[in-house]
Structure 1
Amino acid sequence: MQRLVRGLQLGPLGHGLRRVAGTGVERAVTLRWPDGREVGAFLPKFLRENTIEAWDGSSKQRLDFCLPLDLQVRDVAPVEFSSPDYSGPAFRLQFSDGHVGHFTPPRPADTMWSNELRRQEKLLWGSEEATQVRGELRDGHGPLRFEWKDLQENPSVAKRWIEAMHSHGLALVAGLPSSEDKPFEGVHAFARSLGTFLAPSVYGETFQIKSVTSPNNLAYSSLGLQMHTDLPFNEQPPGIQLFHCLQQAEEGGESIAMDGFAAAESLRQQDPEAFQTLCEHPIGFQDVTKDWFLSAKHPTFELDGAASADTASKLRRLNFNERARDSWRHWNPAASLQQEERVYEAMRKFEELVEDRSRYVSLRLMPGEMICTDNWRVMHSRSSFLGSRYFVGAYLDWDAVRGRWRSLSNTFEAQWRDIASTR
């Protein structure tokens, strides 16, 4: 349903057309509201593919493909438009291919995505903040501690959990089902309470962490482990790691975490050349068992975007796992020995920061508690232990989790309303 805005009628474009240099027969259309405010200039193909009618209302997917290159806009008029998906001001457009549709101008991308989770600040924590972070995990009302029943009952709690994982890369969930007869029930129930699913790996959708004889991974021993990120031998390592306690060891077995981004930023400040070396030099990783042979190469520090004169590139992902690092299979006889030496020196400097225990947050989890870490940022380990210790591990995909956050935030629905209310 539509009605023309008072004082305007559908007719020839006239001043709404202007030639765009270098585009041949394509013309840019300048759209204006009735009060004279200019919305912007748009190519006909952009307008055509973004009319409300060009999208399926249920799936939110585009319906029309392979549009003609010489597409033109024949007529335009501002109207009040109403449909199940949108009600408010729009432009009624008629195109040279016969399509008639309604276009609602988007906000500029910088505005549209200004509240995006990935743009929100990450709160790095090092030795000075580690004690506070531990307290926020243990405090029943701490911002990094969550009760599973609250996650089940209130979607806003799930949203806060996702935001905590973004800001700190670390959270604790308590009160999960912890029956050893149904060991995987807890992590599956947690994923359902978020509105998402577990992400499978070569170890399965879930995996049991127990001490066994002749383990194919030292995680399945009783040894203490060095700080690391999981599965760097994957082309894309998993995004979020879950460790659910079913039975704690008689002695030892503490779960330990540290902010790898904070350590990396310390290296950037202390030795910029070493930091840059670890950004540029790919490191080989491997996981070899009787059933599979996984191999991938990543730089230790992956950056998000290019640096400018005013800002340094932000860290996107950390890849660090000395148990799985594979230099032997990636030997290059043509490589510069001087460069290899610089890589070893840079790695040693970062490893010294990794071994700084003042940066560690150590927790002795009890049955029903689960520690969650951002596997692209926060490294984890555990202390050696005596007796039986039974944990269940699983992963979540960051894309799925961020997608759930956008849904819970109702971001784009709110922006539709803003567009309608400001015209």
Structure 2
Amino acid sequence: MRPGEAGRSKAVSQRSEAESRRGKTEAGRSRCGAGRGARSRGSDGPAPSNGACYSSKHARSFSKTSSRGTTAGPAHKNVIQDDSAVTLYLHGSHLVVQHPRWPAEDVLLPLVWLRDHCRCPSCYNTTTHQRQTDVRDLVFDVHPSQFAVDQSGTSITITWHDGHESKYSLQWLWENSYISQKYRQMQQDRVWKRCLWDAWTAAREDLPTVHHDQFMQDEAGVRQMLKGFLTHGVVTVTGVSASLEATRRVIERVGAVQNTIFGDVVQVFHCLHHDGTGGETTLVDGFAGLQRLHAADPAAYQLLSTEPCLARRLRFNPYDRAPARHLSPARLEPFYRAYQRLAETLLSPRLERRLRLTPGTVLFIDNWRVLHGRAAFTGRRVMCGGYGCLPYSHSV
């Protein structure tokens, strides 16, 4: 299976195929970030207990009063008195934030992480956006003697055991918290989630498609096309004029045309004319193949995933392989055996689906996921193709 049918031509190119043949796919140092001189505990004594709790309702602060007791509000579940309240409390080595407008009920912020991310002028240069602390001075056994939410409910202030004071925007804390990253991933999964496919799924569901008019005139059409590209690795735009210029406009709707055959992500095909038979485009979801390889031969998968040939993206082109000079003699035969298993998996008919391209249908292919080739054909066949990239596809 050869990786592409556009040939070695520039940008959008047109060619005529007249005979049947096989198809081949890092500031100065500051100690305020818990410096070495700050290793002893402050006069306030040990850290507050896990039950320390604070609500922003009247913008009062929590403070440590003695080593045996703390000033603490009621149990944190009862602190929020209305929808504008923000609750803070300590839990072990974390500050927990409850915000009525955050989707997560409890956001745990490690105290060492908070100290490391102090944004006071001696810790952080807001002009260059660089830390001014030395990570070698970071103290892990750090604890606050006092913390509070401001009157506006938009930021919190922490006074640490050594007297240093830090202030954080609640919005910044949410955007940079671990749980917000997980939440964003869940949101993304609800918008698009990778769909693996093979020959069997091809028989019961179509590849994603969008009509040319909707794609060119409506942003919803662009989102539909990009969603299909992200979920399936392939998507078609139908109803396109069978011309070089129309194909170029379709490509440029979502990204710049690359002036090289080595496109970053996307390869595009458009059949302008075919008066014979055959010539179906063959498509294989490489990620579905890798899933099968992982299940059938974990050792082969592990070996290949640690070599440059695979990594996070799938690169499979056995016809243009470079000499394996990066492999020691002891690793060469295991590599060949694993690569053979990969080839047998990816080239299995059970993974392949075929699509006959006709004038008016433009096919977008994710070159880092989908293997593609072409079956033999008869007659005269004129193809138009291009290479592009979709740099903002995940943000759309």
Q: Give the letter for the 2:347 counterpart.
A: E
Distance in 2 between residues matched to 1:172 and 1:348, nearest whole Å:
32
Bigger share in strand: 1
Bigger relative CO (Cα 8 Å, ≥ 6 apart): 2
The 1:31–1:91 alpha-carbon spacing in structure 2 relative to 1, beyond 3 Å, is farther
Deviations 1:399-420 (A, max 9, x none): 5211x33xxxxxxxxxxxxxxx
From 236, 259, 266, give the equivalent of 2:285.
259
Unaligned runs of 5+ in 1: 19-27, 56-61, 82-88, 138-143, 192-196, 204-230, 232-236, 283-297, 303-315, 406-423
The 1:393–1:132 alpha-carbon spacing in structure 2 relative to 1, beyond 3 Å, is farther
1:32-43 alignment runs, 5 A limit: 40=109, 41=111, 43=114
Over the residues paired in the alignment, what is the CA RMSD in angstroms?
A: 4.3
**TM-score, normalised by the number of residues in structure 2:** 0.59
Q: Is the 8 A contact 1:247 1:391 kept in 2?
A: no
Q: Name the residue aligned to 2:42.
A: none
Q: CA deviation at 1:351?
A: 2.3
Q: CA deviation at 1:173?
A: 1.2
Matched, 1:246 2:246: no
Q: Secondary structure at the match of 1:129?
A: helix
Q: Name the residue aligned to 2:318.
A: 322
Matched, 1:200 2:258: yes
Q: Is the 8 A contact 2:214 2:221 kept in 1?
A: yes
Q: Name the residue aligned to 1:381.
A: 373
Q: Give the letter for the 2:204 counterpart.
A: Q
Q: CA deviation at 1:380?
A: 0.5
Q: Give the letter for the 1:277 counterpart.
A: L
Deviations 1:89-136 (A, max 9, x none): 312549999997744331523234332359964322223223224xx1
1:71-220 alignment runs, 5 A limit: 77-79=148-150, 81=152, 89-91=153-155, 93=157, 102-104=169-171, 105-106=173-174, 107=177, 108=179, 109-117=181-189, 121-133=193-205, 136-137=206-207, 144-180=208-244, 184-189=248-253, 191=254, 197-198=255-256, 200=258, 202-203=260-261
The 1:157–1:110 alpha-carbon spacing in structure 2 relative to 1, beyond 3 Å, is same
Q: Give the letter for the 1:246 counterpart.
A: L
Distance in 1 between residues matched to 2:279 and 2:313, nearest whole Å:
27
Deviations 1:288-327 (A, max 9, x none): xxxxxxxxxx32x32xxxxxxxxxxxxx421101221122
Q: Give the letter for the 1:175 counterpart.
A: G
Q: Name the residue aligned to 1:350.
A: 342
The 1:49–1:349 alpha-carbon spacing in structure 2 relative to 1, beyond 3 Å, is farther
Number of residues paired by the alignment? 292
Q: Is the 8 A contact 1:239 1:395 kept in 2?
A: yes
Q: CA deviation at 1:370?
A: 1.2
The 1:201–1:15 alpha-carbon spacing in structure 2 relative to 1, beyond 3 Å, is farther
Deviations 1:246-305 (A, max 9, x none): 33453433222111222222233333333333334x4xxxxxxxxxxxxxxx32x32xxx
Q: Among the aligned pairs, what percent are the same residue?
A: 20
Distance in 1 between residues matched to 2:354 and 2:327, nearest whole Å:
42
From 4, 9, 14, give the equivalent of 2:63.
14
Distance in 1 between residues matched to 2:288 and 2:259, nearest whole Å:
27
Q: Give the letter for the 1:165 counterpart.
A: F
Q: Secondary structure at the match of 1:345?
A: helix
Distance in 1 between residues matched to 2:271 and 2:116, nearest whole Å:
55
Q: Give the letter for the 1:335 counterpart.
A: P
Q: Name the residue aligned to 1:279.
A: 305
Q: CA deviation at 1:153?
A: 4.1
The 1:250–1:146 alpha-carbon spacing in structure 2 relative to 1, beyond 3 Å, is same
Q: Name the residue aligned to 1:25.
A: none
Deviations 1:319-345 (A, max 9, x none): 101221122xx4479623xx4333333
Task: Mark the structure with the bigger radius of gyration.
Answer: 2
Deviations 1:331-380 (A, max 9, x none): 479623xx433333333333233333343222222222111222222111
Q: CA deviation at 1:182?
A: 6.0
From 322, 329, 333, give the equivalent of 1:335.
329
